[in-house]
Amino acid sequence: MNKAAVLVAGGKGMRMGTALSKQYLPLAGKPVLMHTLERFFLTDPSLLLILVLPKEDFEYWNNLCASHSFDLPHRLVAGGSSRFQSVKNGLMALPFQHGLVAIHDGVRPFVSEKVIQKSFEIAAEKGSAIPVVALKDSLRKVSTSGESSFQDRTHFRLVQTPQTFQLDKIREAFGTEELPIFSDDATVYEHQGWELSLFEGNLENIKLTTPEDLEYADFLLAQSKK
pTM for this one? 0.94
- On the question of pLDDT at 173 being above 50, the answer is yes
Rounded to 10 deg, the angle between the 113-126 and 32-43 helix axes is 60
**CA 193/CA 74 separation, integer angstroms:** 33
β-bridge mates for residue 104, sequence order: 7
**Domain 3-224 top-level CATH class:** alpha beta
Phi and psi torsions of 60, nearest 5°:
-60, -45
- On the question of pLDDT at 13 being above 50, the answer is no
Characterize 19-37 residue by residue with b for buried, 16 or more Cβ atoms within 10 angstroms of its Cβ, and e for exposed. Answer: eebbbbbebeeebbbbbbb
- On the question of pLDDT at 110 being above 60, the answer is yes
Residues 6+ apart with CB under 8 A from 39: 109, 110, 111, 113, 116
Mean pLDDT of 164-170: 98
- 24 near 32, Cβ under 8 Å? yes
Mean pLDDT of 154-181: 97
191-220: pLDDT as tens digits: 999 999 999 999 999 999 888 888 888 888
Mean pLDDT of 140-146: 93
Residues 6+ apart with CB under 8 A from 11: 21, 22, 23, 83, 107
88-100: pLDDT as tens digits: 999 999 999 999 9
| The residue type at 160 | Q
